[in-house]
Amino acid sequence: MTLKLEILEKPSADPYDIFFESCSHALIQQSVLWADVISPLSPDIPYFLIVKDQDENVLGGIPVYHFKTDSGGILTSVPHAGPLGGILCKKDCDEIIKNQIYSELMQGAIRLARDLNCISLTIITNPFLSDAEFYSQPVHPDYIFNNFCQIIDLHNLFPENNSYYSEKSGYTIDRNVRRNLKKALENNVTVEWATEADFEEWYPIHVKRHTELGVEPLPRALLINILDILSQFNMAGLVVAKLNNRIVGGCIFIWNKEVVDTYILSSDSDYTEYGINHAITDFAVRYFNRKGIRWFNWQGCKRDSGVYRFKQSWGGIEKKYQFLTWTFDGFQNIFSYNFEDIPREYKWHYVAPFEAIKNKAQKGIFNK
């Protein structure tokens, strides 16, 4: 089949946007709207690569972002926190055509990175499609970083036979879930969709919790953009938990069709014993199951952590995906920088596996 590659820029990305809307498996991070969310926050220029057949039908596409810096620009499909996505391909393509589509898009992304004088190109694979095998043509990546997220299959959490859940008996998959939901109920914890004023009360809780964990809080401007832009299209919202009419926790969710992401869950550590996070999760999985969404994406965390066990207690299972990085002229200069300076220079952007940069590895496979 003869395929044709096109590279689109805003505001002329309509062909990509129409294709995105036609794909039931499309993730919100692959949308033009996501570019509207993140582009104003840093010098990211979005490009939308599409592949068409001889009849001008779009068969595949990918959004990539050019991040400019004095240390060397990068082209990436994973800017800012909570990245997902990679190549979006028409679902009913056979394997031969699918391989062609991926190859055309990857060649196009590599050419674009070189044309923009980027020192690297990073593409993320899709944990819900298991499509990593299609990315290595025509050029194998220099770095592979194996990652995973934890997800709940809501079709299993709420099966028709109610083997995991019923309104009468509550959750039966984990005793700790039931115990904490009982705590929340006994303490009159309420959960609801937030108002604009609620966000202003919740965000300091997020800052406090991330400071306690030694992690930089997510930028307020990013979270406001998510809520202001995506909520207009019913693709994002903040859920808050209240105790005595005071907000004690909350979670921003983003979603599209088959997948919902728990973008950021933060609760006040002073109320850990009240089952706050369990109450928020209970509210969310019920809501998104009724909405017809299948995959509840917790995102990733360390396996040997309480957060991992919390997600596991809800039936969370691992879905694997990869960060694939190709390097170009100038990338070797990264090795001459102080390791601590790189996250500041490329703030909220993935450049290469940290272990690779730290150990000055030219190539390799790395694991979370």
Sign of CA dihedral 145, 150, 155, 156: positive
How far is it, in rounded angstroms, from Cα 287 to Cα 192? 11
The H-or-E segment that residue 45 falls in is strand 44-52
The pLDDT value recorded for residue 218 is: 95
Task: Delimit the domains of the chain by residue range.
Answer: 4-148+320-367, 151-319
Take residue 323 and report the two structure tokens written for it: 């960060």
Spatial separation of the C-alpha atoms in residues 47 and 125, rounded to whole Å: 18
Q: Give the mean model confidence (pLDDT) for residues 155-164.
A: 63
Judge if 4-148+320-367 and 151-319 fold alike in CATH terms: yes
> Could you tell me the two tokens for 58?
């779009």
Using the predicted structure, report yes or no on whether residue 169 has a pLDDT greater than 50.
no
pLDDT (tens digit per residue) in 76-130: 998 888 888 899 999 888 888 999 999 999 999 999 999 999 999 999 999 998 7
**For residue 366, what are the CA distances in angstroms to 154, 248, 322, 342, 363?**
31, 38, 10, 18, 10
Is the whole-model pTM more than 0.85? yes
**Tens digits of residue pLDDT in 304-345:** 888 889 898 888 889 999 999 999 999 999 998 888 888 888
pLDDT at 210: 95
Q: Which residue in this structure is represented by tokens 């899709």?
A: 126
- Compute the chain's Rg from CA coordinates: 21
Q: At the fourth CATH level, which superfamily is domain 151-319? A: Gcn5-related N-acetyltransferase (GNAT) (3.40.630.30)
Query: How is residue 206 written in tokens?
Result: 């997020």
Look at the domain 4-148+320-367 and name its fold.
Aminopeptidase (3.40.630)
Dihedral pair phi/psi, residue 49, rounded to 5° = -90, 135
What is the band of 173 on the pLDDT scale with cuts at 50, 70, 90? low
Distance, in Å, from the CA atom of 189 to the CA atom of 74, rounded to the nearest integer, reads: 46
320 membership: H or E segment, kind and range: strand 317-327
CB 256 within 8 A of CB 26: yes
Angstrom CA distances, 100 to 27, 50, 96, 235, 243, stand at: 22, 13, 6, 32, 55
Q: CA torsion sign, 52 to 53 to 58 to 61?
A: negative
Q: Which of 70-79, 126-135, 170-179, 187-196 has the lowest mean pLDDT?
A: 170-179
Q: pLDDT band for position 163 (50/70/90)?
A: very low
Cα separation, 56 vs 114, in Å, equals 27
pLDDT tens digit sequence for 234-283:
999 999 999 999 999 999 999 999 999 999 999 999 998 999 999 999 99
